[in-house]
């Protein structure tokens, strides 16, 4: 099977969006895995989505600046609250993150309960619409992501807990509107998890898993007429498993070395 020009016109912008999300979420996901706060992305992303739903229910334009501000404000509020809770109750952080996710998700469902298009809005928040991504929005997303990467690789640990959560909130707020909550979580966790025992090649391998996962999932979704937001996590996981099977043992490290990074 081959792709025609019309299919390529849909896949190429979607793949660029996937590469942009992969660029930022792979290093952030490694930090999330190392900190043991795997579900923070779900909580922050769901809270950002709640901000979008609140702004939409008030009557703001779906792609307007007010919606973006509402989403970012909600995500930053959740991130700062979890920064405070991590200092105050570090042993209960994962439970707090889970509670934030459930409360934000429940609030979103309540707000959409009387909306005739509520099911569609909820599906878009979860699965996303990556095949119909706005090409005009991609350059702006690239600029913001480039700034996030510059801060992350330039400042690193000097950002501290609050800086990490703030960067994370900004990245997730944009990504959840670009590709949906499922792909945000998959891009953060699957490459980081699949490469957890690798050494110096870990970052490159994780980026490869993300890129190949998006490419394979997008192509298959067009061929099989399946939603890419649900298919890409599976292709990404398949690439991760395959890579884990072919990487020589000499290129691996023990799980204990992960915590030293």
- Distance of alpha carbon 7 from alpha carbon 133, whole angstroms: 14
Whether 237 has a pLDDT exceeding 90, the answer reads: yes
DSSP three-state, residue 198: strand
Whether 232 has a pLDDT exceeding 80, the answer reads: yes
Find the DSSP H helices in the chain.
5-35, 40-58, 65-88, 93-112, 118-127, 138-155, 160-179, 181-194, 202-224, 228-246
Bridge partner list, 252? 198
Q: What is the pTM of this model?
A: 0.82
Q: Do you know the residue count of the chain? A: 261
CA dist list (Å): 224 to 19, 124, 212, 255: 22, 20, 18, 38
User: Please, what's the b/e burial string for 72-88 (b: 16 or more CB within 10 A of its CB; e: otherwise)?
Assistant: bbbbbebbeebbebbee
149-192 pLDDT tens trace: 999 888 867 777 788 888 888 998 888 888 988 899 999 999 99
**Structural domain tally of the chain?**
1
- Distance of alpha carbon 18 from alpha carbon 179, whole angstroms: 8
DSSP string, 150-185: HHHHHHGGGGHHHHHHHHHHHHHHHHHHHH-HHHHH
The values of phi and psi at residue 92, to 5°, are: -115, 15
State the distance between the two ends of the chain, measured CA to CA, in whole angstroms: 43
Report residue 54 as tokens: 């609140």
Are 173 and 122 spatial neighbours (Cβ–Cβ below 8 Å)? no
34-87 pLDDT tens trace: 887 777 778 888 898 888 888 877 777 666 677 778 888 888 998 888 888 878
Report residue 230 as tokens: 């649900």
Q: Which domain holds residue 186?
A: 5-260
- Distance of alpha carbon 6 from alpha carbon 135, whole angstroms: 15
- Distance of alpha carbon 129 from alpha carbon 179, whole angstroms: 6
Give the pLDDT mean for 200-205. 89
Q: Which of 1-15, 147-161, 216-230, 242-256 has the highest mean pLDDT?
A: 216-230
Report residue 64 as tokens: 């307007």
CATH of the domain at 37: 1.10.3470.10
Whether 98 has a pLDDT exceeding 50, the answer reads: yes
DSSP three-state, residue 252: strand
């Amino acid at each position: 099977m081959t792709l025609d020009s019309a299919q390529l016109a849909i896949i190429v912008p979607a793949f660029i969006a996937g590469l942009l999300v992969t660029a930022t979420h792979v290093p952030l996901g490694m930090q999330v895995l190392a900190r043991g706060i795997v579900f923070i992305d779900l909580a922050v992303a769901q809270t950002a989505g709640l901000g979008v739903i609140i702004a939409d229910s008030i009557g703001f334009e779906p792609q307007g600046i007010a919606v973006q501000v509402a989403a970012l404000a909600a995500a930053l509020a959740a991130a700062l609250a979890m920064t405070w809770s991590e200092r105050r109750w570090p042993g209960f952080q994962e439970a707090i993150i889970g509670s934030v996710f459930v409360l934000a998700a429940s609030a979103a469902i309540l707000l959409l309960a009387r909306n005739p298009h509520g099911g569609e809005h909820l599906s878009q928040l979860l699965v996303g619409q990556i095949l119909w991504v706005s090409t005009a929005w991609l350059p702006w997303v690239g600029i913001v992501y480039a700034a996030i990467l510059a801060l992350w690789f330039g400042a690193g640990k000097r950002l501290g807990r609050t800086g990490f959560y703030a960067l994370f909130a900004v990245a997730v707020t944009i990504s959840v509107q670009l590709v949906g909550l499922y792909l945000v979580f998959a891009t953060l966790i699957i490459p980081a998890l699949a490469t957890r025992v690798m050494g110096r090649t870990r970052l490159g391998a994780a980026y490869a898993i993300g890129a190949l996962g998006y490419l394979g999932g997008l192509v298959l979704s067009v061929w099989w007429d399946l939603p890419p937001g649900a298919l890409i996590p599976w292709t990404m996981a398949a690439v991760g498993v395959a890579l884990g099977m072919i990487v020589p043992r000499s290129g691996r490290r023990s799980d204990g070395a992960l915590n030293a990074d």
